[in-house]
Amino acid sequence: MPDVPGMPSAEELARLPRAELAALLAEAYQLIGRLQARVEQLERQAGKDSSTSSKPPSSDSPYKKKPRDRSLRERGKRRPGKQPGDPGTTMKLIDDPDERLEFSPAACRGCGAGLAGEPVLDQRRHQVTDIQPAPPPRVTEYVAQAKTCPCCGLVSEGVLPAHVRARASYGPEVHAQAANLVAGQHLPVSRAAVLLAQLGGITVSTGWMAGLRGKAAALIEASGFAGAVRDLLRQAPAVHVDETPARAAGGLRYVHLACTPYLALMHTGDRSAAAIDAGGVLPGYDGILVRDGYHGYWHLTGAAHAWCAAHLLRDLKALHDTEPGVQEWAAKMACLLLWARDTAAAARSAGHAALDAAFLDDLVTRYQAAAAEGASINLFRHNAAAREARALARRFQNYQDDILRFVTRPDLDIFTNNEAERTIRPVKVQQRSSGGCWRTIEGLADFAIVQSYLTTATRWGITKLDALRDLFRGHPWIPPGLQPAG
């Protein structure tokens, strides 16, 4: 047996007294146990991906083959591609093309006789739709004239439109198109400036482009948009909330979100309860709060909390994949949640506001039995999987009402918090295109309010470009209600 640096050799161990050797062996066994537990923990961490944790899909290794049952989504029955009976979206000919070019045969392809004076027997139309090069910018001169009153001699000057301020400036359309590139499409400012020059024929500096989001944020703040959305959210029967970290000014900040399918409002701060409340939506809110397991929301006792089941399903899958022969209760609980989800969705489609009492009793009984099984079979086991299983089983036992909230309100789609997670994702998109951070905290706050405006507008069927046009023309769009009429 080769000598290991720092460890006694075989000869040295043989000369040790029995008691000292036993103590050394016991210490070695304890170290081996700790190392085995650490290796098991690291292997479990390395084996997690977006299907078994809250890690984003972009973090999954492209070199690791994904198992067929990796996704928690049910496999669809339709084949990929165009479905039978679908009309498709083939381009159609228009009746009034901008230009018409006719191509007649000059000579017979058989004998070579000329056909210039012969009548047309038949014809086949083809049309090509293309983009014209960017036209030169249109410059409009606004002249403020002054006149002297013949009666009192006072000099009066004409009033220019609101968007005409500097002696030379860009108009509302340029502002809207440029803001759509940097704020609507999340392009870096330098690339946005190049693209605006190539497509719009307007050459602007990167500094001007970088200041656009701040201009838009100031106009949105002055319009009262945030206050209107805040008041509407407080009236909603259910509000989805989430938070995500963002690096700004060399430190870590958080973007907080409150949203519904038609409204979104973001603000920035740290991760404390005070920062969550600073958005003005949640303090005193008495509806249903759809959220993940972050403890920062527990102080909102006036709301009924609904725990995101997607997070729980990922935790159950990770546990079952680790010990499939032991953690069968995790599979039972996952199937139970999916069964309840489908039942609630069917009731919602049928227009029912409540589920059958017998179904709810059966669901609760089976739910409690699965959670109790998870706690009991792992009670006297001491590996990492068992510890995670006990914690997960306790979570199901302690937060039963929050986890099963979706079956008490089948009229609301609150099984998951995907609504908030999709809405807050642009924070990461913008962060990646901005070199991984925002230079200032004010810049992050500007991003939050502009993103709230654009997200809400698109959910009402208004394009980002049209919403920005309204904003820079002095008529910012504000949602008229919780959702579109009808």
- The pLDDT value recorded for residue 337 is 96
Residues 6+ apart with CB under 8 A from 252: 245, 246
- The pLDDT value recorded for residue 292 is 93
- From CA 337, how far away is CA 306, in angstroms rounded? 14
CA distances from 406 to 6, 317, 387, 401, 415 (A): 59, 21, 28, 9, 5
Residues 6+ apart with CB under 8 A from 162: 474
- The pLDDT value recorded for residue 334 is 95
Contact 447, 182 (CB under 8 A): no
Q: Do 292 and 429 share a domain, yes or no? A: yes
CA distances from 92 to 83, 96, 102, 126, 128 (A): 20, 12, 19, 10, 11
Residues 6+ apart with CB under 8 A from 358: none
- The pLDDT value recorded for residue 1 is 45
Q: Could you identify the residue written with the tokens 């949105």?
A: 220
Q: Do 313 and 373 share a domain, yes or no? A: yes
Task: Kindly give the pairing relationship between strand 238-248 and strand 288-291.
Answer: parallel
Q: Do 232 and 360 share a domain, yes or no? A: no
- From CA 456, how far away is CA 258, in angstroms rounded? 12
- The pLDDT value recorded for residue 11 is 78
Concatenated DSSP letters for 392-421? HHHHHHHTHHHHTHHHH-TTS--S--HHHH
58 membership: H or E segment, kind and range = none
Residues 6+ apart with CB under 8 A from 154: 148
Contact 246, 233 (CB under 8 A): no
Task: Answer whether residue 314 is part of any domain.
Answer: yes
Task: Kindly give the pairing relationship between strand 288-291 and strand 304-307.
Answer: parallel
Q: Do 342 and 384 share a domain, yes or no? A: yes
Task: Answer whether residue 26 is part of any domain.
Answer: no
Q: Do 327 and 279 share a domain, yes or no? A: no
Residues 6+ apart with CB under 8 A from 378: 386, 387, 389, 390, 393
Q: How buried is residue 323: exposed, middle or buried, by Cβ count under 10 Å (0-12/13-18/19+)? A: middle
Contact 459, 262 (CB under 8 A): yes
Six token digits for residue 303: 């709301």
- The pLDDT value recorded for residue 65 is 60
- The pLDDT value recorded for residue 274 is 95
Tens of each residue's pLDDT in the chain, 486 residues: 455 566 777 777 777 788 887 888 888 888 888 888 788 778 777 766 666 666 556 555 555 666 655 555 556 667 777 777 777 778 899 999 999 999 999 999 989 899 888 899 999 999 999 888 888 888 999 999 999 999 998 999 999 988 888 888 899 999 999 999 999 999 999 999 999 999 888 999 999 999 999 999 999 999 999 999 999 999 999 999 999 999 999 899 999 999 999 999 999 999 999 999 999 999 999 999 999 989 999 999 999 999 999 999 999 999 998 888 899 999 999 999 999 999 999 999 999 999 999 999 999 999 999 999 999 999 999 888 899 999 999 999 999 999 999 999 999 999 999 999 999 999 999 988 887 889 899 999 999 999 999 999 999 999 999 999 999 999 999 999 999 986
Residue type, 12: E
Q: Do 342 and 404 share a domain, yes or no? A: yes
CATH code of the domain containing 291: 3.30.420
Q: How buried is residue 338: exposed, middle or buried, by Cβ count under 10 Å (0-12/13-18/19+)? A: middle
Q: Do 362 and 397 share a domain, yes or no? A: yes
DSSP class of residue 136 equals P
Task: Answer whether residue 251 is part of any domain.
Answer: yes
Task: Answer whether residue 37 is part of any domain.
Answer: no
Q: Phi/psi at 85 (nearest 5 deg)? A: 90, -10
- The pLDDT value recorded for residue 61 is 59
Contact 50, 59 (CB under 8 A): yes
Q: Could you identify the residue written with the tokens 């004409």?
A: 158
| pTM for this predicted structure | 0.82
Residues 6+ apart with CB under 8 A from 238: 260, 287, 288, 289, 290, 306, 409, 412, 414
Q: Do 238 and 376 share a domain, yes or no? A: no
Q: Phi/psi at 45 (nearest 5 deg)? A: -65, -40
Rg over CA atoms, the chain: 33
- Percent of the chain as helix, strand, coil, to the nearest 5: 45, 10, 45
Helix (H/G/I), strand (E/B), else coil: 429: helix
Q: Do 399 and 345 share a domain, yes or no? A: yes
Task: Answer whether residue 438 is part of any domain.
Answer: yes
Six token digits for residue 127: 């049309």
Q: Do 395 and 329 share a domain, yes or no? A: yes
DSSP class of residue 171 equals -
- The pLDDT value recorded for residue 358 is 95
Task: Answer whether residue 25 is part of any domain.
Answer: no
Task: Answer whether residue 56 is part of any domain.
Answer: no
| Cα 174 from chain centroid (whole Å) | 28
User: What angle is formed at CA 463 by the lines to CA 454 and CA 194, rounded to 5 degrees?
Assistant: 85
Number of domains into which the chain is organized: 2
Contact 179, 173 (CB under 8 A): no
Task: Answer whether residue 21 is part of any domain.
Answer: no
CA distances from 207 to 57, 189, 375 (A): 34, 8, 59
Q: Do 327 and 383 share a domain, yes or no? A: yes
Residues spanned by the domain of 297: 224-303+419-461
Q: How buried is residue 441: exposed, middle or buried, by Cβ count under 10 Å (0-12/13-18/19+)? A: middle
Q: Do 279 and 326 share a domain, yes or no? A: no
CA distances from 121 to 108, 126, 219 (A): 13, 17, 63
Task: Tell me the HSE value of 64 on the side-chain side, using a 13 A CA sphere.
Answer: 13
Contact 266, 363 (CB under 8 A): no
Residues 6+ apart with CB under 8 A from 314: 51, 52, 53, 54, 72
